[in-house]
Structure 1
Amino acid sequence: MGAATGLLDAFRAGDRFLATPTRTLLAHGVLAEVPHGPEPLACRVSATLADARAARHPAPVVMGAVPFDQTAPAALVVPETVRTRPALASDPLVALPADAPRSRAWTVRPHPAPDVYAEGVAKAVDRMWQGEFSKVVLARTLDITGPDELDLPAMLRRLARRDPHGYTFALPTHAGRTLLGASPELLVSRHGDRLVSNPLAGSIPRSDDLAEDVRRAVTLLESAKDLHEHAVVVDAVHQTMAPYCSALDVPARPSLIRTATMWHLSTTVTGTLAHPEVSALEVASSLHPTPAVCGTPTALAREVIRETEPFDRGFFTGMVGWGDADGNGEWVVTIRCAEADSRTLRLYAGAGVVAASVPADETAETGAKFRTFLHAVGADL
């Protein structure tokens, strides 16, 4: 009792923390950095882990973040030490409430403004009706600045205790910057010869009223627009994973999963790895970006994102996770996240836009997704 929450409570700024449904990791120091270069990322990671093992590191692990644009530098390292404990959700002490956020005067700046974001959604919908593309994921940001230094350990504890069944992370990226989040979406995991992916697409905000919350869940499960959006993502995951697998199971219909703020359509895709030399990160790099965070077709959706979003996504909608020298690992879609820099947090949220999208609804969805982090810091829109 208390093993996993002990790691959560031990986290300090500069450490690397990752909690998944299978384990809790807390890492200190840097033994080696994965270099940037022209070789595929999975090859560079494999070489870095092999060097660490050759230097007599008994069980090297890589941890960190990969940006949305895989040609940009990743923030992946082999830590000096990694402590591993069971999943947070299995620790009874995780049910204890985290300390409430301190009252402070936050300055909140949206980028772009909600009405400008809605205009971007409307333009994308018009282009879809003209047949240019079928889906694009458009995001917006909130910059939240406080009067003093951010308390990253306290924020992490609130994120983890609010959604202990998800994927909670705090990972240094650039000097003085930390990527924090609580993502619900597994891109891919590999344990031995078993591959699992859990794409999410199609969402609706939750309600504090129980009857209304149930009504919204049923509405999502019966929504033609959301079911179509979800099917496109699942098909892309299926097609990408198939060449790596000797067997693959794809459920015919999605189920529902919930976070503290959202309902999501969810499908768990499981496969048997055909070639043992293929790492979790190699499969993850092939899957990324799925239509759930980019759009369809991918190349054109990327162009629409660049034309519409007035900011660089950086690590948002990239992936975070861990991998070992045997190819096992877990890689998670980097959503419900923020980048922290001294006194400022930049929050990110996106929505899948299809021809049936209503700009006001997509804007409201991004607002609901911001609530994961707003709750963690005690701020409001």
Structure 2
Amino acid sequence: MIPISAMSAESSDPAFILARPYRTVIARGVGRVFESAQEAATTLRRGEVTHVVGALPFVPGAPVALWSPESVSVRDTGYLPATPAQPEFEFDAALPEPEEHVRRVGEAVALLRDPEHPVRKVVLARSIRARSAHAARPVEILDRLVSTDPMGNGFLVDLSTAGGRFAGRHLIGSSPEILVRRDGDEVLSHPLAGSARRDLGDDQADRKIAETLLGSAKDQHEHRYVVDQVTEVLRDRCTEVTTPTPELTSTPEMWHLGTPITATVRADGPSALELAAALHPTPAICGTPTATAAQLIADLEGERGFYAGAVGWCDAEGNGEWMVSIRCAELAADGHSLLAHAGGGIVAESDPAAELAETTAKFQRILRPLGISLPVTVA
């Protein structure tokens, strides 16, 4: 069993929180620790534990952060953040520098335009590191993110059970993307792919941006890869799968193309965790074909850890919800360093400069609530 000294049951702060507009899940303490999603799902099916919470990494097969909590609260209300002082972080570094990200995107576009290359879409990301003279508590950062999100979305996961460099580290974010949710026999997956930065200073211009996104052949192309794969996975495991046409979804910073895909599952059918493991990683955060795109990401970008993985919970009845871990940052064990992530889907029609600007816009979901300003040379 993995040492979990960093996740003491006596800690005053929860080790896991998933905040949604209609439900809040808060877990404390650590019971049984799992080494894979399959082990966790099997243990739930046997009734040996009542709940599993935690996070899946970007790369399937890498160490997971999944455990059965000693206590869990599931409330059918939104999360009520406290009003702590804003954590004081300042920009430290761009990883990689913007020019390097543009170069990587350009290299990917060149490959995607090669008819002999197997990859049709790949998602590339970059990171921003910020530092604070004062140690920040994970829940303080979560409270800032939730309180500044109109939908009240947020998540917090202690990554310690993954072991190694993740001991004491937390993944904190405000994701708008539902990988999968199961309530009884009802299943929903709401993938987002295809994005545009909003203009909140001009309603007419903002609406024009949304309409342009909805009519964009490039973004519809990117979105289609995701919808097709999610639909195929659900059809293999569920019945009555319904895939509507893409619609607009908004966050405070971005417009997205989204498709709410619904399905029906038998009572003894796959649990929310099993569905999440089957769906992840989708082309929305990896690419297509999955394995080849993941290798291209590793070659161009390096190791992602839990960014672009999934965060969520599941109970012994199979109910639960898993969000794609985007719009997030990893807080160091000492609370002094924060690493935020943002990415974008790259297809043959992508423009590298526009892709850089898209990541800058997506960073704001994390940086703006924490008062972190990007230098002009980075943005």
For the criterion TM > 0.5, the same-fold answer is yes
Matched residues in 2 for 1:48 and 1:279: separation? 9
Is 1:259 aligned with 2:255? no
Is 1:23 aligned with 2:23? yes
Please, which runs of 5 or more residues in structure 1 have no aligned partner?
A: 1-10, 54-59
Counterpart among 116, 119, 126 of residue 110 in structure 2: 126
Q: Once the 2 structures are TM-superposed, how far is the Cα of residue 15 of structure 1 from its aligned partner?
A: 2.8
Code of the aligned partner of 1:30: V
Q: 1:65 is matched with which residue? A: 55
* Preserved contact between residue 47 and residue 316 of structure 2 (Cα < 8 Å): no
Counterpart among 165, 170, 173 of residue 178 in structure 1: 170
Is 1:78 aligned with 2:68? yes
Code of the aligned partner of 2:235: A
* Preserved contact between residue 32 and residue 48 of structure 1 (Cα < 8 Å): no
Change (3 A) 1:13 1:267: same
Q: Once the 2 structures are TM-superposed, how far is the Cα of residue 99 of structure 1 from its aligned partner?
A: 5.6
* Preserved contact between residue 155 and residue 174 of structure 2 (Cα < 8 Å): yes
SS of the aligned residue for 1:289 comes to coil
Matched residues in 1 for 2:90 and 2:324: separation? 28
| Worse-matched range after superposition: 207-216 or 282-291 | 207-216
Code of the aligned partner of 1:63: V
Q: 1:4 is matched with which residue? A: none
Alignment map for 1:86-101 (pairs within 5 Å): 86-88=76-78, 98=83, 101=86
Q: 1:305 is matched with which residue? A: 297
Matched residues in 1 for 2:173 and 2:108: separation? 28
Matched residues in 2 for 1:51 and 1:245: separation? 22
- Taking structure 2 as the reference length, what is the TM-score of the superposition? 0.88
Code of the aligned partner of 1:138: L
Q: 1:322 is matched with which residue? A: 313
Please, which runs of 5 or more residues in structure 2 have no aligned partner?
A: 1-10, 161-166, 375-379
Matched residues in 2 for 1:105 and 1:274: separation? 48
* Preserved contact between residue 34 and residue 48 of structure 1 (Cα < 8 Å): no
Q: 1:361 is matched with which residue? A: 354
| Worse-matched range after superposition: 61-70 or 162-171 | 162-171
CA offset digits 1:259-309 (Å, max 9, x no partner): 111111111000111462321111111111111101111121111101100
Change (3 A) 1:248 1:156: same
Is 1:196 aligned with 2:177? no
Identity of aligned residues (%): 42
Alignment map for 1:277-356 (pairs within 5 Å): 277-309=269-301, 311-341=302-332, 342-356=335-349
Matched residues in 1 for 2:370 and 2:169: separation? 17
Q: Once the 2 structures are TM-superposed, how far is the Cα of residue 86 of structure 1 from its aligned partner?
A: 2.1
SS of the aligned residue for 2:174 comes to strand
Code of the aligned partner of 1:318: G
CA offset digits 1:234-257 (Å, max 9, x no partner): 111111110112211110x21111
* Preserved contact between residue 137 and residue 292 of structure 1 (Cα < 8 Å): yes
Q: Once the 2 structures are TM-superposed, how far is the Cα of residue 154 of structure 1 from its aligned partner?
A: 2.3
| Worse-matched range after superposition: 146-155 or 238-247 | 146-155
* Preserved contact between residue 53 and residue 313 of structure 2 (Cα < 8 Å): yes
* Preserved contact between residue 150 and residue 252 of structure 2 (Cα < 8 Å): no
Q: Once the 2 structures are TM-superposed, how far is the Cα of residue 183 of structure 1 from its aligned partner?
A: 0.4
Q: 2:43 is matched with which residue? A: 47
CA offset digits 1:153-183 (Å, max 9, x no partner): 2221111122252641111002221110000
Is 1:228 aligned with 2:221? yes
* Preserved contact between residue 49 and residue 78 of structure 1 (Cα < 8 Å): no
Change (3 A) 1:255 1:48: closer
CA offset digits 1:303-345 (Å, max 9, x no partner): 1101100x42100111010000111111111100001012000
Q: 2:164 is matched with which residue? A: none
Code of the aligned partner of 1:44: A
Code of the aligned partner of 1:179: L
